[in-house]
Structure 1
Amino acid sequence: MTWSQKAAVVLQNDHVLLRPVTPEDREPVRAVAMAPEIWRYFVSAVENDADFEEFFDATLADHAAGRRAVFVIVDKGSGRVAGSMSFGNMAEGDARLEIGWSWLGLDFQGKGVNRWAKFLLLEHAFEGLGAERVEFKTDELNEQARQGLRNIGATEEGTLRSFNYMPGGRRRDAVFYSILRAEWPRVKNELAVNAKVSWAGAAK
């Protein structure tokens, strides 16, 4: 089996469940996706139902073609869909992949969902797939995402200038981050501890 086949599995802990996206997820995802501020730094703009249909259709197509392994995130506390994350750019021959295409509905931001979801994906990447390198990238202007990546133990590597077009025509400078296999045991421990603290604080 290839990485694209092995990547799309159900992952869960006590707090979140990640499962491969299906067409039946369209309406649960729509219910948390229709807030423009979610998409401020995203490569797709979702401002209305037509935008969402195009976005979700592209998500299903990427997943079906193996270009990405797209996961729907379910918050176990509420039972609701919270957002989505993906494995992409899976270079199996080089034991390298990217975690990205990440977003959460406004109700689920700042409550530990992001940390637990990334924990499960990192664990699957290093311990399930045997990755040597997991990488992330984000908009240079997206300080919240950049701080979030630093908080999970990712190392900032540099900026690729004028990397891609954004909605509206702006050229994005993309900042790259990574976690390596040798770093994973330390990152895993720190991420698990910090995620538990974050979740406990959000529950108060």
Structure 2
Amino acid sequence: MSWAVTAHQVLENDHVRLQPISESDREPVHAIAMDAEIWRYFVTLVETRADFDDFFDACLDDDHAGRRVVYVITDKATGRVAGSMSFGNLSESDARLEIGWSWLGREFRGAGRNRWAKFLLLEHAFEELGARRVEFKTDVLNVRARSALRNIGAVEEGTLRSFNVMPGGRRRDAVYYSILAAEWPRVREVLSTRPKVESAVLPA
């Protein structure tokens, strides 16, 4: 089976549950998505209900087409939807994929939910899919996200200048990071045993 098919499953631990997106998630996701801070460094701007529906429809379309595996994150402590994260840019022949398109509702930031969601995706990528490289990219201006990636052991590889157009017309410089399969055991230990390590929101 392809990675897009194999990865299309529920992933969970004691902290979070990640399930592939479905139409039934539209309203729970909408309830936490109308926060301008979420979209500050995101490539999509969501300001109105119509914006949100376009964004959500694009997530469904990408997921159904196998371009991404879009997960909805549920906080185990409250049972509430907390945000979303995706596998994307799936290059199975090269054993490479990206983790990104990540965001959390305001009350779930800084509480470890993004860290544990990222842990589950990295674990699945390296230990189940057989990825040899997992990459991340973020806005050069997103200092918090860049610091968080360094803190978990991701290696900064360089900046792609004028990478894409952001809402409002600014051209974003995108900074790439990666974790390789040989580095995963060390990163796994950092994420699972150091309680102060927290991955920031990492819009792609």
| TM-score (ref. length: structure 1) | 0.95
Partner AA of 1:152 in structure 2: I
Q: CA deviation at 1:150?
A: 1.4
Structure 1 residue 186: deviation in Å? 0.7
Matched, 1:116 2:116: yes
Task: Check conservation: 2:17, 2:76, Cα contact below 8 A.
Answer: yes
Counterpart secondary structure, 2:177: strand
What SS is found at the alignment partner of 1:135?
Answer: strand
Q: Check conservation: 2:190, 2:197, Cα contact below 8 A.
A: no
CA distance in 2, matches of 1:37, 1:197: 23
Correspondence list, 1:118-137, <5 A: 118-137=118-137
Does residue 38 (structure 1) correspond to residue 13 (structure 2)? The answer is no
* Aligned ranges 1:143-154 → 2 under 5 Å: 143-154=143-154
2:64 corresponding residue in structure 1: 64
Cα drift, residue 197 of structure 1 = 4.7
Task: State how far apart, in whole Å, the 1-side matches of 2:186 and 2:166 are.
Answer: 35
CA gap of 1:197–1:175, structure 2 versus 1, over 3 A, is: closer
Corresponding residue for residue 78 of structure 1: 78
Corresponding residue pairs, total: 198
- Could you say what secondary structure the match of 2:101 adopts? strand
Cα distance, 1:198 vs structure 2: 5.8
Residue 190 in 1 paired to residue 190 in 2? yes
**Runs of 5+ consecutive residues of structure 1 not aligned to the other structure:** 200-204
Structure with bigger RCO (C-alpha 8 Å, 6+ apart): 2
- In the alignment, the residues of structure 2 paired with residue 168 and residue 145 of structure 1 have an alpha-carbon distance, to the nearest angstrom, of 21
Per-residue deviation, 1:180: 0.1
Q: Tell me how far 1:154 sits from its aligned partner.
A: 0.7
The unaligned stretches of length 5 or more in structure 2 are 199-204
* Corresponding position of 1:202: none
Q: TM-score, normalised by structure 2?
A: 0.95
- In structure 2, C-alpha distance between the alignment counterparts of 1:125 and 1:84, rounded to whole Å: 17
1:171-197 CA distance string (max 9 Å, x none): 000000000000000110111012x45
Superposed CA offset, 1:78-107 (max 9, x none): 100000000000000000000000000010
Q: How far, CA to CA, are the matches of 1:32 and 1:128 in structure 2? A: 31
| Separation (CA, whole Å) in 2 of partners of 1:148 and 1:81 | 23
Work out the CA distance in 1 between the residues paired with 2:117 and 2:154: 15
